[in-house]
Homo-oligomer: A and B are copies of this chain.
Amino acid sequence: MRSEVLELTTGTAPAVLDLTAECRRFASTEADGLLSVFVPHATAGVAILETGAGSDDDLLMMLEHWLPREMRWAHRHGSAGHGRDHVLPALIPPSITVPVLGGSLMLGTWQSICLVDTNVDNPRRQVRLSFLPG
């Protein structure tokens, strides 16, 4: 299994970061198998969605509704409302797999692989890409 870690900057605002180009590059030297995209953080997730047409902003908007900052979070560390970021990975898991054929991701035309990170306290992030030959 080949495995590598991407070092990313997500900044200090909630972000949806498109990783598709990095994933394509990583898989391009492989044949058939499964790409695993895994985020080793407790306050971020991976989603596959269309980017560049507003849906990344729509997702961040909905996350404000699904995980309101002003809830009385039991988790009290970090900036105000940071407890929500720790529930995010239950909704948007930190792990997804994508089938690969002949070194190409079998994504649909409008699908992008995205890091979803609402944590404003941690601007640096890692994402692990692994390829399981089939």
Contacts and interface: CB of A to CB of B under 8 A. Distances in A.
Interface of A: 1, 3, 32-34, 36, 38-42, 47-50, 53-55, 57-59, 61-62, 66-67, 71, 73-77, 83, 86-87, 89-99, 101, 106-111, 116, 126, 128, 130-134
Given A42-B48, A48-B89, A132-B132, 8 more contacts: A36-B99, A40-B106, A55-B75, A55-B86, A55-B87, A58-B71, A59-B87, A131-B134
A1 B34 contact: yes
Given A40-B107, A106-B40, A99 B3 contact: yes
Contact of A58 (B61, B86, B116, B131): B86
Contacts of A67: 62
Contacts of A62: 66-67, 71, 87, 90
A116 B133 CA distance: 29
Contacts of A101: 1, 3
A1 B35 CA distance: 12
B90 A132 contact: no
Contacts of A116: 90
Contacts of A42: 48-50, 55, 108, 110-111
A20 to B, nearest CB: 12
